[in-house]
């Protein structure tokens, strides 16, 4: 963890414009379960409980913003907007932008992971950070942080239709172009029950078009469909 001393955390606090009263909460937000398997530190917990809390706070703030901003949108569209704003890809990009990757506390093995594996770690840590801010500073501070980091992406996401359901679009294209309804198959699943990771392939006939990863089969299927659209140039 680059910058794991208090000065490093102070630098991060300045970057996100939040000053913690309880710095242990901030440190906990960066702590992956694997780190504690190799480093026993009294009083330090991993970030999964904070992630659980932060996920709920994030969803509420984003939902209220979308409800107020798009009064003509249907419930289904608002749900799609929200999913696009709080999925692992978006949250990991935001975590990267605010420099969270430099402060993560990981095991030696996890620290070597890149790509989708690191994306999930960062997305989870961002949710944990929201939970930590909520506990330490209250709802308004957490909402303000989300307003600075997440909500500015809303307009572009809606304008560019990044919220569109990739599976539905891929099915339309596959039927139009190939005359075949695509099929999804689970290639692998790993991890404990509370932190599953699924790899799912999307097929047109016998052709494996693309693979997607996700914390649920639905998320992995959407990722596979998005990659399938790119692979086919659709």
Q: How far apart are CA 41 and CA 211, in angstroms?
A: 39
Q: Would you say 184 and 209 are in contact if contact means Cβ atoms under 8 Å apart?
A: no
Q: Which of 28, 150, 163 is nearest to 97 (CA)?
A: 150
To the nearest 10°, report the CA torsion of 186, 187, 190, 194: -20
Contact 197, 213 (CB under 8 A): yes
Q: Which residues are catalytic?
A: 55, 127
Buried b (16+ CB within 10 A) or exposed e, 119-158: bbbbbbbbbbbbbbbbbbbeeeebbbbbeebbbeebeeeb
Helix (H) or strand (E) holding 89: helix 88-97
């Amino acid at each position: 963890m680059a910058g794991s001393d208090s000065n490093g955390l102070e630098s991060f606090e300045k970057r996100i414009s939040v000053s913690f009263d309880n710095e242990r909460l901030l440190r906990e937000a960066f702590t992956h379960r694997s780190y504690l398997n190799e480093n026993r530190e009294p009083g330090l917990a991993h970030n999964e409980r904070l992630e659980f809390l932060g996920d709920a706070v994030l969803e509420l703030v984003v939902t209220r913003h979308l409800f107020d901003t798009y009064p003509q949108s249907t419930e289904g569209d608002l749900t799609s907007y929200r999913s696009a704003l709080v999925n692992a890809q978006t949250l990991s990009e935001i975590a990267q932008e605010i420099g969270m990757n430099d402060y993560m506390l990981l095991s030696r093995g996890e620290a070597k992971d890149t790509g989708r594996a690191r994306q999930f770690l960062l997305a989870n840590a961002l949710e944990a950070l929201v939970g930590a801010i909520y506990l330490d500073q209250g709802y308004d501070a957490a909402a303000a942080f989300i307003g600075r980091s997440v909500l500015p992406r809303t307009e572009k996401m809606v304008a560019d239709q990044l919220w569109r359901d990739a599976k539905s679009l891929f099915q339309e294209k596959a039927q139009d172009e190939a005359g075949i309804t695509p099929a999804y198959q689970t290639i692998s699943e790993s991890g404990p029950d509370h932190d599953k990771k699924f790899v799912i392939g999307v097929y047109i006939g016998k052709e494996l078009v693309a693979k997607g990863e996700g914390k649920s089969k639905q998320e992995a299927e959407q990722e596979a469909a998005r990659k399938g659209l790119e692979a086919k140039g659709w």
